[in-house]
Structure formats: C-alpha cells, structure tokens
Amino acid sequence: MADPHRAQVLKGIALAIAAMACFATLDTTTKWVSLSAPLMVAMFFRYAFQAVATTAIEMPRQGRALLHTAHIGLHVLRGGLLLTTSILAFLSLKHMPVGEFTAIVLLTPLVVTLLAARMLHEKISRLRLLLVAGGFAGTLAIVRPEGADFNWALLFPIGVVAANAGFQLLTSRMARTEDPMTMQFYTGWTGALVAALALPFTWEPIASHAVWGGLLLMGVLGSLGHFIFIQAFKRAPAAVLMPYMYAQIAFAMLGGWLMFSHVPDAWTIAGMALIAVCGAAGAWLTAHESRASAEAPEH
C-alpha cells in the first residue's frame, strides 16, 4: 500500500519545481519587457494583477475575514520589501542574463539562515559559514568585479538578495499567525498602490501588443508562482523543498538560451554551480539540524 504521507511530499516537491519554472519564466519575461516598458508601469501591472486576482478569488470565499489582521504595518512593510525586490530585479535583468541573475538571487536562503541564526544569538557552525563563503565566491565568479568591463549595474542583484532576505524573514515570522492568502492580498495591494502613485510621473505610451501581452504574463506568472509555492508548503516541510529551489537556475538558463540565445561562459557556469551546490547543501544541513533538534531528548 502506498504511503499517503510520502505521496503528499512528492506532490509538494513537484509543485515546488513547477513554481520555480513559473518564477524563471517570470524573470525571462521581465527581461524581455524591460527592454521596452517603463519600470513602474511594469511594476503596476505585475502587482495589480496579483491584487485583483487574489481579491476576486478569495473575497467570495472568505468575505471580510480576508482583511482581518492585527499587524497591518507588517503587511505594508512586507509588501514594500517585495516591491523593492521586484524593482531591483527589473533593473538587474535589464543589464544581465537571466541565468546569472537567478543564481545570485538564490544566495538568499543562505543569507536568511545566517541572519536568522544571528538574530536568535545562535552559534553558527563552521560548515555553514563555509557554505555561505562558497556562495559568495560563486557570485564573484559570475560578476568578476576586477574586470575592465565591469558594470556597476551588476550589483543590483546583491540588493535583490538583501531585500528578499528581509522579505523572507518577515514572512517566516508572520506565517505563524497570519493567513497565507491575507498576506498575498496585502502584498499585492501594497505593490499596486505604491506603483500607481508613481504612474503619473513615469507613464509612457506602449504601442506594442506584444509588450502588453508580456505585462499581462508577468502578472499571471507572479501570482501563479506564489500560489503554487504556497500549495507546495502545505504538502511538504520547507526543509524538504528548499534544495529543489535551485532547479530555477536550470529553468532560467533555458529561458535565456531560448529567448536571448545566451550561453554562459565557463567561469559563469562554475560560479552558478558553486552557488547551487552550496545552497542545496545549506538546505540539507538545515533539514538535518531540524531533525536532530526534534529527536533530541528533553531534559
């Protein structure tokens, strides 16, 4: 007889991989749109779609309960951090390939684990510090700041990592008491309203139907990816799912090759592989430490 728990975990893994495919396609689409559409116009459509879709789907189901929260300020801060992440991602993708961008951004889980341990005043193992150092070494192999052709815009992804780390730490804290769809609702509306305030100052006519289609696709992929990822976490523990996040690098490289005919050079591939290995090892280490802590006898 099949183990129902194992089946649920496998479904969670499959959903996590599908979410990574959505996010990689979102980044590929964002890079293409960034060549033609103004920044805040793209941000408005990205978040307005999420806000309207979440409201249309969840409000009939939950009613006013969807709005219920004791931490509205934290929701606004979380939405602001995600919007900042999206803005820096847009600027990053305007100047660098999708695969390289994705690899650098996937330093975030390593940074989050390091920051969380520091905030809780926990001792950080040498192995974990080595994995973080390895991830940053991979980033240097991709960016290569000593090169004569170094572009300072390549530092935007580091900003993405910082903003995304703050977003994930806040999400982890809020998820203990807040409904996931309430978080999705306030995140979408915060991003949409802030971007809307900037529209009068940044609006430019967009004549291309293809660009309008790209903007719509960004909204669909962003909302769908986050929804699928939430469903994955309902079926499998975070420690199990985290290593599969690095499948996004492969999807991003595929998107960059199909859309922009970009193939990374040897140093870049080595850096991306180092980030993926260190990140996956960090996720495995977290899972191992969690199991050891759960199995430790109480005194």
264's CB contacts (< 8 A; 6+ apart) are 97, 99, 100, 253, 272
The answer to whether 165 and 65 have CB atoms below 8 angstroms apart is no
Q: Whole domain around residue 203: which residue ranges?
A: 4-295
Cα–Cα distance list, 177 to 66, 74, 75 (Å): 13, 12, 12
155-213 pLDDT tens trace: 788 899 999 888 888 887 887 788 888 988 999 999 999 999 999 888 888 888 999 99
The two structure tokens encoding residue 232: 């994955």
Which pLDDT belongs to residue 107? 84
Residue-wise pLDDT for 269-299, tens only, equals: 998 899 888 888 887 777 676 666 555 555 4
Q: Is it the case that residue 29 has pLDDT exceeding 60?
A: yes
For residues 284, 286, 292 and 297, what is the CA-based torsion angle, rounded to 10 degrees?
-170
Given a contact cutoff of 8 angstroms between Cβ atoms, the answer to whether 107 and 279 are in contact is yes
Write out the chain in H/E/C secondary structure.
CCCHHHHHHHHHHHHHHHHHHHHHHHHHHHHHHHCCCCHHHHHHHHHHHHHHHHHHHHHHHHHHHHHCCCCHHHHHHHHHHHHHHHHHHHHHHHHCCHHHHHHHHCCHHHHHHHHHHHHCCCCCCHHHHHHHHHHHHHHHHHHCCCCCCCCHHHHHHHHHHHHHHHHHHHHHHHCCCCCHHHHHHHHHHHHHHHHHHHHHHHCCCCCCHHHHHHHHHHHHHHHHHHHHHHHHHHHCCHHHHHHHHHHHHHHHHHHHHHHHCCCCCHHHHHHHHHHHHHHHHHHHHHHHHHHHHHHCCCC
**What's the total number of domains in the chain?**
1
Separation of alpha carbons 234 and 229, rounded Å: 9
What pLDDT score was predicted for residue 6?
Answer: 77
153-162: b or e for each residue (b if 16 or more CB lie within 10 Å)? ebebbbbbbb
Q: Who contacts 32 (Cβ-Cβ below 8 Å, separation ≥6)?
A: 214, 259
Across all residues in the chain, what is the average pLDDT? Answer: 84
pLDDT at 91 over 80: yes
What pLDDT shows up at residue 1?
Answer: 46
Q: Find the mean pLDDT for residues 246-254.
A: 89
- Is residue 293 classed exposed, middle or buried when 0-12, 13-18 and 19+ CB atoms within 10 A define those classes? exposed
For residue 83, is pLDDT > 90? yes
Q: Which of 156 and 122 is assigned the larger pLDDT?
A: 156
